[in-house]
Structures are given as C-alpha cells and as structure tokens.
Amino acid sequence: MGFLAARLRAKFNMWKRFLLIRGTELLIFSLLAALPLLVNSSYALGLLTLLAIYAILLIGLDVSVGYLGQVNLGHAAFLALGAYAAALGVALFDLNLLTALLVSLLVGLILGALLAIPALRLEGPQFALATLSFSALTVITLNELEAWTGGAQGLQINRPPLFNWSLDAVNFYWLCLIFLGLVWVLMRNLLASNWGRAFEALRDSPIASDAMGVGVYHYKIAAFAIGAALGGLAGGLYAFNFQYLQPQSFTYELMVILLLGVVLGGRKNLWGALLGATLIVLLPNLLSNRFTFQMIAAAGLLLTIIAAQQSRPHKQPFQTYAPVLAMALMMAGSLLAENIEDWRKAVFALLLFAVVLGLPDGLIGFITRFLSQLFRIAPPALVAASPLDEVLQSKLTHGEILLKVSNLKCYFGGIKAVDDISFDVHSGHIHGLIGPNGSGKSTAINVISGLYRPTAGALLLHGKALPHGSLYQVARTGIARTFQNLQLFGELSALENVMLALKDTYRCPLPLLLLGFAKREEKRAQADAQALLALVGLTDYARTTAKNIPYGAQRFLEIARALARKPDLLILDEPAAGLAQPDVQRLIAMIKHIHGRGITIILIEHHMDVVSELCDVVTVLDGGKIIAQGTPDEVKRDPQVIEAYLGSAHVDH
Amino acid sequence: MLTIENLHAGYGNSEVLHGVSLKVAAGTVVALIGANGAGKTTTMRAISGMIQPTQGRVLLNGIAVQGNTGAAIAQLGLAHSPEGRKVFGPLSVEDNLLLGAYSRLPALFGFRKHAAAELNRIYELFPRLHERKNQVAGTLSGGEQQMLSIGRALMAQPKVMLLDEPSMGLAPVLVQEVFKIIRQLKAAGITLLLVEQFARSALEVADYVYVMEHGKIVLEGLPSEMNKNERVLAAYLG
C-alpha cells in the first residue's frame, strides 16, 4: 500500500510540476500576445516589441555569460551586425522579410564563430577585452562604411512584407513574439540536453571536460556562435522594428545595460532573460516618473532585506547588508534628487551592485525559490537505475599487451620528470605504479592520457599509436582516468557529472534534439548514470551539487564518471588519498568489482595495503626512472624500493 | 587553549555539524577521527573562520572568535593547513612560505631578512622545499605541495594549528616524516588539532581523541582507551 501511495504521489508531483511550469509559460505568452488588444497605445506596443526583441538578445547573451561564465562585451555588436545585415539585404538585394531575418541569424552565427575561434583561447579579462575591441571595431566600421550604411547619418529602411502581407505594428509585434516563442522552445530543449550540461562543465573544469570526451574547444565555439546567432536574429527584428539604424545605438552603454539585464533577471535561466528584458525596457520609463521610481526603490529595499535575512547565517555581515545599504541609498536618492534621469547611471550601478551581492541567482532565483516553497514543488523524480550489466558490459580479457609504453620521456625545461621509461600493461591486469612524491608517476599518466605531450617515446594502445598531447582525443580511444586533485564539475549534480561523460548514449542529431526528440535518450542516460552511481554507493547523493559532496564521496564520484566512458583501460590516480579506513575497504571492493568486469586498471597509490591486495604487477619509479618491477611482494622486498619509498618502518600497513 | 561549544555549521541549507563540542589543552595533540563525510573538515573550517558557524562558540585562548573572518582569527595565532593543500599555484615556494608569515612581517622592506630564521627552520624540516624554493608552487608534485602547506602554516608561528589530512597523497616514507614533524611540533609546544586518515598513527601521537559520526562527537577518551574500544577498532583501525 505504502509503495502504491508513494508512486501515486510521485506521479501527482510530476504532473503538478509539469502543469505549473508549462501553464505559467502558456499564461505569460498568451498575456503578452493579448496585451495589444487590451491596451490601445502605440507607445506601449513599442515597448512590448522591444521587450520581445531584447528577450531573444538576452537569451543569446546568457549562453556565453551564464553558461560559459565568460564576460562577453561583444553582444551589442552582434545586434548591430544582424540589424545592418537585414537592412542591407533588403536595400541592396530586395530580400523578403524571412530571408532577411535568416541572413541576420547566419551573419551572427558565422561572425560569432569567427570571433570565438581566436578569442576563446583567452580567459577572463583578456576575453572581455577581445570582445570589447570587437564591439568597438564594429561600431567604427559601420560608421566609416558611409556608402552602404550612411555612417553617422543613419540608414532608413522599409519593412518588407511577410510574403504578400504587409505588417502593421501589432502584426509585427506578434511576429517578434512568435520568434521569441520559437527561440524559447528550441533553447529549452538544447539546454536540457547534454549540450546544456557540457556548456556548464566547460566552466567548472575544462581539463575534465576534455578527459571525458567532451571537446572543450568545439563546445565553447558552438555555444558562443549560438549566442551570437540569437544576437543577429534580434538585430534583424530590431532593424525592421525601428526602420532606422544608427551605429551610435550599439555602443558600450547598451552593452552594460544588456549585462545588467542578464544579471538582474538571473543567469542560466530563460525566465531570467525574459524578466531581465522586461526590466531594462521598463527602466528608462520608471526613472522618468518620480513616484513610480520611489515605489521601485522601496520594493528593492524590501527585497534585499528579505534576501539578507535568509542568507544571514552563511555570510560575512558586510556581504549580507551591503545590498540593503545600496538600496537604502537608492531610496534616499529617490526622495532627494530633483531629476532622477540625471542619475541614470548611478541607479544602474546601485542595482547591479545590490543584485550581484544580494541575489546571486538574480530576481528569478528569488522568485522560483519563493514559488517552489509556496506550491511545494518537489524536484522531478529520478528514473530507476538501468541494470548494471547493460551499462558496463563484462569483457573477456586474454592477457595480451593492452598498453605498450616505450622509451617515454617528458622533460620540463631542465627537469627530467619522466626519463626513458618502458613498461607493458597487460589486459585484465591491475597494474600498480608507485614511487616517492615527485618521482614522475603523475607525469607518466598525464602523458599517457594526453594532458602532457611527451618529449620522446611511443605509446601503443591495442597496438595502435595513441594521439599525443590531446586529452580529448585520447579519451575517445578507450582510456578513462580520474584526477588526484579532484576535477569534478562543481556546479553540476553528482548524477549530471556522470551523465555528461556517458559514452555512446547521445546519438540524437542536433535538429531533432532542438525539436525536443531527445527525451527518451535523456531518460536512458539518467538510468545508466544511476546504475554507475549505485556501483560506487552514491545513490543518495544523486541530486547533490558535486562541490557540496563530502571529500571521500567526491573521490568515488570521479570513478563513476570515468566508468561512464566505458573504458578498456581505467587510470586511477591516488583513489585512496584522504580516505578513512572504512572507505578504503569499500574502495578495494569497488576496484575488484570493476576489474571483474574485464576493465584493465593502472593504479597509482601510496597505501601499500591497497597496492598489495589489488595489483598483479607493480612498477616502481624514482627520479623519473623505473627502479623495480614485479609482483607486490617482490617489489616490497627490493632494497632500493625500501630505501627510496617504503622507509624502514611502515606506518599503518 | 582551544574550546568549541555546541558548534553548528553547514553549507547552504544543509547543516553538517549538529552541535560539536571539544577541547584542546595547551601543548597537547588532539586527534579527530571519523569516516569521510562525518564533518571533520567542516569542523576545522568552522573553527578557522573559512565558513561561518550558525550556532555555538569557538574560544581561542579564552577569546570568543566565532563570526570573525579567517584573517582575524589567523592574527590571533591560529593556523590552518587545509585539506587538499591549497597552495598559491603561480607563486614560488619561498613566496608561499613568506605569505604564511604575512601578518607579522613588515609590509614593504626587509621582510625576507625578518623571516630568515623561520624560513631556515622550515627548510631544515623539509629539505625538499629548500631545493625547490624558486620553483612555482603549482608545478610541485602532490607530496611537495603538502609539505609546503604545512610549512606555510608554521611560518605564522601559530599557537594552535589545525592539520587536515597532512599525510594525504604522500609516499609511505614521507608519511613517517610527517608524523616525525608532528612530534617535533608537539615538542615545540604547539597545540595541535589533527585530522588524519591513518588513525592508528594519529592515536600514537595524540594525547586525547574524539570520534565523529554524522556531524556529532560520539566518543572521546585517551588513545589507550580507544585502542581497546571495540567499536573504534572495528570501524577506524581496520
């Protein structure tokens, strides 16, 4: 009975969630569509059209700012380029409306990719500067190409008819809204798929992304280009909305406002983009009326006080009350200032300051938390685990040479980290790699797994040469690894960490995926990942964000994620480091189980009891050279190994 | 020397410590043992101000320090060598060590001379760090980073030191070294709170032991008592 009730409750929860979320979407979009019929004002209609266009623009900006976590100051330029592309397409080639918009989209996509290819090799401030220069260059170029763009004089354009149907302002607004709806649905599907997880993973750990076969560079460029394409599309709509373009409209100030919109609304969230667009469209109007602005300031003050109360125990006092202070300042200003519009930039600054410190998830984060408490929305139920045998098929091993390392060298300047080592790893073995700290063990496996490029030497897997110096390419050959200094995707849940790495799971082509045909695949991935989490005993942490999982469990999660690559060769880099005794026993059982499924393992470990119990062969390194090789018992008796590594008296072994 | 009373702390909305109380007398070594996820690291973080406790008191030499920033607590003579090393990757080994003594060195000139005695002491303890003093810390091997992390904490000439998994990732021969160092620190009169995966060795150096489970202290006593306790033997001493 209890079981049935639980299932019914889960079903009910699922439907409640589905209805609430889809219902809200439908309600908001219907309301937006109906507004022009209810309010008969051309001014309001203009704001609504701009709202729809900005929402598309911000959804695009959110991909690079929110998901990739890059400070992108070039988005206004894509708006400009899309706008001018559409305008010139109509003026010079007499394109129809939809073709012109397609051109805008493609211009954004292509130029976005072209900018991303060099710029995304940069990080942080350099990337911001590169995009800022791009944006300045765009405005200058548009200014100077007077023959086509009319320069600073501006460019007048006519809105072409949609097929034979000439659009009035209301119809054009609906067209923008339809585009917003399309972008909304397509992006929702994209971001809910493995693409969305990949975008986030890149930000948390590029190294691990490559090691899990998610090519960092490709995904980064794709993400940036998609964002730029949306910028271009918004530009096309912008051009046909105003029917007049001027390069000065797309300068630095617009960029700051757009960033304000994303941060204020809430990053990594479609609703956040819509809310952000609403705010930046309305803000200039709210500033013009003193009373409304005072109301806004009061609401802001109240909101920050509530948020401060909620976060109080976890933060430093200044962090907690700084946003309240900013809003209090704004409130005081609204009462004292003669003309609030003169203080426009100060208002933006205070808002941005308060939001960044007080509401890191933006307004939408605050609202969702509030609503999910109010309606008691439980997170969606997780699907049951697949049978482990389906996820990790057992392989037969015949003891042939799986990995051949010959005369491998890796030098850093004058330091010979790995100095001419050769050894074979036989399939079905657990091959130990031990040695003092700094003896070159980690360097050796970093070379094998492609993180470092070897100075000389050959690596053969299954008799075929391994690619050199590319984690991503090596990951695709059937080698998976864990990291000694954990490289989890901190912002993703444990389940998502494993899902992202799953091999041979995501086959749905992009166009179908955008249309929402990847749901089954996604469920399957969740079930498979659950099976791997169960294998390492982390079922209870499935939903927990990886960075909040206790240390020992994080080590196990690294193993589950590596197993998702379904490897022939698994490299474990100090899996027992920092584990307490009961967890060490669990780890040993786990490695035995994995080995039993025919996976060959290279084990780097300092716990000699673990090495003795598990390894078939042990290679001992010191100073970058092999000093001994043999069974655990043989190397433990070797005087050189005792001298360099084990020491005279064992601790705890 | 260090007393904590009814400490509650956690991350976001999840509470990890549900009222932890313990005492570390001056000049003694106290070991905190427990399974992974029991809350040992969180206890240390809440003591040193890396996270803010939601309830309870932390007394350092009789002064209540809970709610202060990590920097302020460090000024009062508490050094924390965190789990997972956390060295300053782009800086040289020596600069890392000098930063450990930051709060008591002159700001602009002569700080190297001022810290020379301390530096030499650290280099005597860890000759490996001396060999690599100009190397960038991020390129050190895991074990060397661990030595650096302990060395940096020592540079502050702390009265109380929190050592979180000092032997993690070290070769057996260096694990023995670390325990030698812990004995030396104890002989030098430094008060130590120690979290260590090698529970048996930790018990050998400790004067008193607390056992943690699920965010609470479940057992405490002298090492000799713990060595006989069946529950501890089964769960932690393997």
Are B34 and A650 in contact (CB < 8 Å)? no
Percentage of residues in chain B with pLDDT exceeding 90?
26
Residue B130: Cβ within 10 Å count: 15
B222 min Cα distance to partner chain A (Å): 19
Distance, in Å, from the CA atom of A161 to the CA atom of B83, rounded to the nearest integer, reads 66
- What is the pLDDT, as a whole number, of residue A315? 58
A586 min Cα distance to partner chain B (Å): 12
The pTM is what?
0.83
Looking at residue A34, its amino acid is A
- What is the pLDDT, as a whole number, of residue A456? 92
- What is the pLDDT, as a whole number, of residue A651? 44
Pairing of strands A456-461, A401-412: antiparallel
Three-state DSSP state, A162: strand
Alpha-carbon torsion angle B105, B109, B115, B117, nearest 10: -140
The answer to whether A104 and A121 are in contact (CB under 8 A) is no
- What is the pLDDT, as a whole number, of residue A558? 95
- The token pair at A405 is 């390392």
A406-443 residue pLDDT tens: 999 999 887 889 999 999 999 999 999 999 888 889 89
- Please return the burial class of A203, using the count of CB atoms within 10 Å of its CB with bins 0-12, 13-18 and 19+: middle
Pick from A485, A579, A645: CB nearest B36:
A579
Residue scoring higher pLDDT (A156 or A648):
A156
Backbone angles phi, psi at A619, to 5 degrees: -105, 130
- The token pair at A651 is 């601790």
B189-222 residue pLDDT tens: 889 999 988 888 899 999 999 999 989 999 999 9
Residues of B with Cβ-Cβ distance to A650 under 8 angstroms: 172
Residues of A with Cβ-Cβ distance to B36 under 8 angstroms: 550-553, 578-580, 583
A131-173 residue pLDDT tens: 999 999 999 999 999 888 888 888 888 888 888 888 888 999 9
What's the average model confidence in pLDDT over A595-615? Answer: 93
Task: Inform me whether the pLDDT recorded for A450 exceeds 60.
Answer: yes
Does this complex have an ipTM over 0.85? no
Nearest residue to B145 via CA among B90, B98, B89? B89
Q: Of A242-246, A332-336, B198-202, give the range with the top mean pLDDT.
A: A242-246
- Chosen for mutation from B197, B205, B213, B227 (greatest number of chain A CBs closer than 10 Å) is B197
Give A 313-342 residues with CB within 8 A of chain B: 313-316
The answer to whether A175 and A184 are in contact (CB under 8 A) is no
Pick from B14, B172, B176: CB nearest A608:
B172
Are A651 and B235 in contact (CB < 8 Å)? no
- What is the pLDDT, as a whole number, of residue A653? 43
Chain B contacts to A (CB-CB under 8 A): 11-12, 14, 33-37, 41, 51-52, 54, 69, 83-85, 128, 139-144, 146, 165, 167-176, 179, 197-201, 235-238
Distance, in Å, from the CA atom of A487 to the CA atom of A500, rounded to the nearest integer, reads 14
